[in-house]
């Protein structure tokens, strides 16, 4: 039930399906992603339900675009979603289920597994740190005096940073535990 509401959130200003996909990849991809094959039909349905209107645009370069914009009814629907409180679905952490069965492979492989996890999240962290650095240098209001929309975005960034840091610490502590045991065995 989230995708239609996310789309409504994004089309406060007119946007095409392609534009929306860009936004997913550049901004939201740490906690959400959707493919074009899912976005196009979902936008069509919003229009059919009277939650969005279409406006054609013929840019100087490139093919024609369908720009979707939310209607007042769409805005009401978006607010209702937010006002009904946080949607707390059980997350599916594939890699954690793997950790749960990690005793099924030899100790050296377990270390490899955690090293790989560690690398991945280190990379994610450095990306987020970069995002924050740029934002800070480009907007003097960062972090305490941002306008509401930016503040909401910043909240998501703050959680991303905190969670990834926690995961990295966890990787390191697990690696330490695994290495201690591995050496004792030799």
Partner DNA sequence: GGCCCCATGTAATGGGTTACATGATTGC
Partner DNA sequence: GCAATCATGTAACCCATTACATGGGGCC
Of these partners, its own copies, DNA, none, which one is at the site of residue 29 (CB under 5 to 8 Å by kind)? Answer: its own copies
Instruction: In angstroms, give the least distance from the CB of 61 to its own copies.
Output: 31
Q: And the tokens for 101?
A: 């069965």
Location of structure tokens 């090293």:
115
Q: Closest Cα partner for 2 from 94, 77, 92? A: 77
Nearest to 70 by CA among 78, 60, 61: 78
Contact by Cβ (8 Å): 11, 19: no
Nearer to DNA, 6 or 174 (CB): 6
Q: Residue 85, interface with DNA (CB under 7 A)?
A: no
Between residue 21 and residue 80, which ones bind its own copies under the rule CB under 8 A?
Answer: 28-33, 75, 78-79
Which residues ranging from 118 to 157 are in contact with its own copies (CB under 8 A)? 120, 144, 148-149, 151-153, 155-156
Asked if 86 interacts with DNA (CB under 7 A), we say no
Dihedral sign of CA atoms 100, 157, 46, 40 in order: negative
Between CA 101 and CA 117 the distance in angstroms is 15
| φ and ψ at residue 56, rounded to 5 degrees | -80, 145
Q: How far apart are CA 73 and CA 154, in angstroms?
A: 27
CB of 161 to its own copies, least distance (A): 9
In the complex with its own copies, the residue whose CB is nearer, 57 or 169, is 169
* Binding partner selected for residue 65 from DNA, its own copies, none, CB under the kind-specific 5 to 8 Å limit: DNA
Query: What residues from 83 to 112 belong to the interface with its own copies (CB under 8 A)?
Result: 83, 85-105, 109, 112
Residue 92 binds to DNA (criterion: CB under 7 A):
yes
């Amino acid at each position: 039930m989230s995708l239609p509401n996310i789309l409504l959130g994004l089309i406060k200003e007119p946007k095409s399906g392609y534009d929306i996909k860009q936004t997913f990849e550049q901004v939201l991809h740490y906690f959400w992603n959707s493919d074009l094959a899912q976005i196009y039909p979902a936008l069509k349905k919003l229009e059919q339900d009277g939650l969005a209107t279409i406006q054609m645009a013929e840019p100087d370069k490139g093919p024609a675009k369908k720009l979707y914009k939310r209607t007042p009814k769409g805005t009401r629907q978006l607010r209702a979603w937010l006002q009904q409180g946080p949607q707390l679905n059980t997350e599916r952490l594939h890699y954690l289920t793997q950790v749960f069965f990690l005793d099924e492979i030899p100790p050296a492989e377990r270390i490899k597994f955690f090293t790989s996890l560690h690398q991945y999240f280190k990379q994610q962290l450095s990306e987020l740190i970069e995002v924050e650095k740029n934002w800070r240098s480009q907007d003097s209001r960062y972090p305490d005096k941002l306008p509401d929309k930016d503040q909401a975005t910043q909240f998501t960034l703050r959680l991303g940073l905190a969670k990834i840091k926690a995961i990295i610490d966890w990787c390191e502590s697990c690696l330490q535990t695994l290495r201690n045991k591995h050496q004792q065995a030799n």
